[in-house]
Chain A
Amino acid sequence: MAALISLAFLKAKLEKRPALVSYIVAGDNNKKLTLNILKSISQYIDILEVGIAHNTAVADGVQIQNSSYRALQGGIKVKDVFEIVKQFKKIKKNKPIILMGYYNQVLQYGENYFLQKCKNSGVDGIILVDLPFPENKSFADKCKKLSITFIQLIAPTTSTIRMKQIIKNSQDMIYYISMLSTTGGKLKVSAKSILNNYLKIKKIDPKKNIVIGFGITTKTIASLKKADGLVVGSLLCKSISQSLAKKRNPLIQLNKIVRTLRNKIQ
């Protein structure tokens, strides 16, 4: 069976649009809400990224920090994240889910046990923000053996030689960080220059699916729709923050946003 992540890209390609990838933090601000959000937005989203909150995150911008803070305040544990994925997969078993977190969380679980839990709950892919290549080689191999996609990251600062090595060691999906920023920064480079870099990576191995993330909003998304996939995270976290502040159910606004995003890339 082909991996669900690859199928999601294939499906989007057939519809001549980029795959839409969402990111929210698990447990923001409680487990039940996260499960409801995932169920609801998955009608517009091709791949769901679920963040594992960490209290010393070094690459997250303020929106995701706020979400993580709320999740931790709500008492979220790594085991709960697996439970959320498991519950979700019971209803939508074909929708791919990627866990995103920091290496210390995996280390404390034990790499093998963490991966076993991923497998059991139905996780399709893993992104570890602070486990770069080549340090991630052994862990990425373990993922591959279990048919879990380990997603390598490429940044604007990545040299061409390094890019080639990373791509060679990657699986089907690669994450391109659009600019020098933490998550949710304002897009400070033009869509054209992001796409230029993107095409440079694409040329090295056209078969790989490359998603672009960081700084993607309802305003910027259309300009980048040539990519294989686009990740929207901070925008969604921000929307949750705003709804919670107004004591409204975040689902309503979130659904509106993902529907708009989807329409803009059709």
Chain B
Amino acid sequence: MLKLQKGKAIIDQHDKHYLYGGKFGGNFVPETLKKPIEDLTQLFQKLRYDKKFIKERDYYFKTYVGSPTRFIKLYNLSLHLEGAQIYAKVVSDANGGAHKIYNAVVHALICKHAGKKYIIGDTGAGYAGKMLSMAAKKFGLKCKIFMGTKDMARQKVNCDAIRKNGAEIVPVDSGSKTLVDAVSECMRYWVSNCDTTHMCVGSTVGPNIFVKICAWSTAQISRELKVQLKEEFGEIPKKLKLINCVGGGSSAIGFWNEFMDYDKKQVEFIGVEAGGPKNSKLHAAPLTYNAKLGVLHGAAQYVLQDKDGQISETSSISAGLDYPGVSPLHCFLKDTKRARYTVATDEQALEAFKLVSQLENLRPSLEPSHAFAEAIKIAPKLSNDTVIVVDSCGDALKDKKIIEKRLGKLIWQH
């Protein structure tokens, strides 16, 4: 069985081919991208140990992102479920309304340090794109966002925001017209323009360096949480469960990073993938449903595919989770058994949204609603000295139309 190393950041636990556990990740890229990726790898390696750069990052995380985000107890939900104590890390407090801002800010800073004026990125739910356009505006960079036309239709609120920030949206009308095609198109654009343009991958996917930068950026979430847990409990609770939704897996890695070395009996990681519509065979849950190892967007990972290696179509109510693959880091965490993965269906996520938003002053977007669904499922069975923390990594404003359609307009009146 694969093993995690203690005392070493998970992003650095790869071999010389940048593979985690000898099989996940790597750089399966066209020759043209080898050099830009190598340059970026070297630059990031230098910057991440540069005190000045860290100071710069922390400055913008504090003054621009708004760190730390709140850590709150969900009293009503805990009372209602009569089991574990449920908390939320309200990452959606961050500027822009989701965790994607951490990665976006770091990429914009790197882009500046690389002396490049153009930045491009992919987006599914529109958050990664919105945040990148914000960061680009903040740091004076020209920005293009690649987005599937299906996602553009269902996440119009974020599209408007992207354009308002002065970025251009490049509609991607090929294949399933969602995130997977947006990432492909963005990579193609980078192949053609890598001499002048910096690429940001919106999650912990893609060639190794993008997995690293993204996980390194979102780790801010668990750095804050660790302090907040100690403030609340005086120590890290003896029975702690950290529940996070997993699409590409960037928020989950960030939410768990600082707790990797804890015994899983003390700090359990639960990743919740998109189970798709209740009565459909389609989903976006490669880990839960044991998808085969394959190569997608430059990295080896468990990915939904057919026998011939064609990537399968996925379905989820949540655009942010609608991706056939998953971060190599999560594949590694699955195989080392450090984290366990499960699914929530579209309907369960909607029910969870309904319950949480009715009982609490919190409106998690459809992505974290998947995580809440799992919390709601397991909390009643757990002792009341168990602490569940759900990463509420996005705000539901962007999902207003979908939620109204499925749950009725009255849902917003609480």
A161 to chain B, nearest CB (A): 11
Overall SS of chain A's interface = loop
How many A-B residue contacts, CB cutoff 8 Å?
A: 112
In the bound complex, what is the Cα–Cα distance between A181 and B308 (angstroms)?
27
A105 touches B191 (CB 8 A): no
B292 touches A108 (CB 8 A): yes
B297 to chain A, nearest CB (A): 7
In the bound complex, what is the Cα–Cα distance between A234 and B154 (angstroms)?
34
With beta carbons under 8 angstroms apart, the residue of B28, B35, B294 that contacts A159 is: B35
**A182 near B: Cβ within 8 Å?**
yes
Chain B residues with Cβ under 8 A from A105's Cβ? 308-309
Chain A residues with Cβ under 8 A from B45's Cβ? none
Question: Which of chain B's residues 22-80 have a Cβ closer than 8 Å to chain A?
Answer: 26-36
- Interface pick from B192-200, B228-236, B373-381: B192-200
Question: Which of chain A's residues 101-156 have a Cβ closer than 8 Å to chain B?
Answer: 102-109, 129-135, 153-156
Chain B residues with Cβ under 8 A from A104's Cβ? 294-296, 305, 309
In the bound complex, what is the Cα–Cα distance between A162 and B34 (angstroms)?
10
In chain B, what residue has the closest Cβ to A130?
A: B28
**A59 near B: Cβ within 8 Å?**
yes
B189 to chain A, nearest CB (A): 8
Chain B residues with Cβ under 8 A from A107's Cβ? 293-295, 309
Chain A residues with Cβ under 8 A from B371's Cβ? none
- Interface pick from A40-48, A49-57, A223-231, A254-262: A49-57
In the bound complex, what is the Cα–Cα distance between A180 and B191 (angstroms)?
6
In the bound complex, what is the Cα–Cα distance between A59 and B311 (angstroms)?
16
In chain B, what residue has the closest Cβ to A131?
A: B28
In the bound complex, what is the Cα–Cα distance between A55 and B181 (angstroms)?
9
**B175 near A: Cβ within 8 Å?**
yes
Given known A-B contacts A69-B174, A104-B305, A129 and B30 have beta carbons under 8 A apart: yes
B192 touches A155 (CB 8 A): no
In the bound complex, what is the Cα–Cα distance between A56 and B309 (angstroms)?
10
**B180 near A: Cβ within 8 Å?**
yes
Given known A-B contacts A180-B194, A181-B191, A153 and B31 have beta carbons under 8 A apart: yes
**B266 near A: Cβ within 8 Å?**
no
Interface size on B, residues (CB 8 A): 37
Given known A-B contacts A58-B188, A180-B193, A108 and B308 have beta carbons under 8 A apart: yes
B191 touches A182 (CB 8 A): yes
Given known A-B contacts A180-B191, A180-B194, A130 and B30 have beta carbons under 8 A apart: yes
**B5 near A: Cβ within 8 Å?**
no
Instruction: Render B286-301 as a binary contact track against A, CB cut-off 8 A, 1 for contact.
Output: 0000001111111000
A58 touches B35 (CB 8 A): no
Select the residue from B26, B174, B188, B296 with max chain A CB neighbours within 10 A: B188
B17 touches A135 (CB 8 A): yes
**B119 near A: Cβ within 8 Å?**
no
In chain B, what residue has the closest Cβ to A156?
A: B32
With beta carbons under 8 angstroms apart, the residue of B32, B181, B309, B311 that contacts A177 is: B32
In the bound complex, what is the Cα–Cα distance between A185 and B28 (angstroms)?
22
In chain A, what residue has the closest Cβ to B294?
A: A104
With beta carbons under 8 angstroms apart, the residue of B27, B175, B296 that contacts A135 is: B27
A180 touches B309 (CB 8 A): no
In the bound complex, what is the Cα–Cα distance between A69 and B194 (angstroms)?
26
**B187 near A: Cβ within 8 Å?**
yes
Select the residue from B192, B309, B310 with max chain A CB neighbours within 10 A: B309
In the bound complex, what is the Cα–Cα distance between A55 and B30 (angstroms)?
16
Chain A residues with Cβ under 8 A from B32's Cβ? 59, 155-157, 177, 180
With beta carbons under 8 angstroms apart, the residue of B29, B33, B311 that contacts A55 is: B311
In chain A, what residue has the closest Cβ to B194?
A: A180
A56 touches B192 (CB 8 A): no
Chain A residues with Cβ under 8 A from B180's Cβ? 56
**B307 near A: Cβ within 8 Å?**
yes
B297 touches A155 (CB 8 A): no
Chain A residues with Cβ under 8 A from B17's Cβ? 134-135
A58 touches B309 (CB 8 A): no
In the bound complex, what is the Cα–Cα distance between A133 and B192 (angstroms)?
20
With beta carbons under 8 angstroms apart, the residue of B29, B192, B294, B297 that contacts A185 is: B192
Question: Which of chain A's residues 154-188 have a Cβ closer than 8 Å to chain B?
Answer: 154-159, 162, 177, 180-182, 185
Question: Which of chain B's residues 157-190 have a Cβ closer than 8 Å to chain A?
Answer: 174-175, 180-181, 184, 187-188
B176 to chain A, nearest CB (A): 9
With beta carbons under 8 angstroms apart, the residue of A55, A60, A102, A157 that contacts B194 is: A157
Chain A residues with Cβ under 8 A from B305's Cβ? 104, 108
**A77 near B: Cβ within 8 Å?**
yes
In the bound complex, what is the Cα–Cα distance between A237 and B195 (angstroms)?
28
In the bound complex, what is the Cα–Cα distance between A107 and B296 (angstroms)?
12
B27 touches A54 (CB 8 A): no
With beta carbons under 8 angstroms apart, the residue of B28, B33, B294 that contacts A108 is: B294
Chain B residues with Cβ under 8 A from A77's Cβ? 308
**A232 near B: Cβ within 8 Å?**
no
Chain A residues with Cβ under 8 A from B36's Cβ? 157
| B residues in contact (CB < 8 Å) with A | 17, 26-36, 174-175, 180-181, 184, 187-188, 191-195, 292-298, 305, 307-311
10 A-B pairs whose Cβ atoms sit less than 8 Å apart in the complex: A56-B181, A58-B30, A58-B187, A58-B188, A59-B30, A103-B28, A130-B295, A135-B17, A154-B31, A162-B35
15 more A-B residue pairs beyond the given contacts A56-B311, A58-B297, with a C-beta to C-beta distance below 8 A: A58-B298, A77-B308, A103-B295, A104-B309, A109-B309, A131-B28, A132-B30, A153-B31, A155-B32, A157-B36, A157-B194, A162-B35, A177-B31, A180-B193, A182-B188
| A residues in contact (CB < 8 Å) with B | 54-61, 65, 69, 72, 77-78, 102-109, 129-135, 153-159, 162, 177, 180-182, 185
- List 6 A-B pairs, minimum CB-CB distance, nearest first: A108-B309, A157-B35, A155-B32, A104-B309, A104-B295, A105-B309
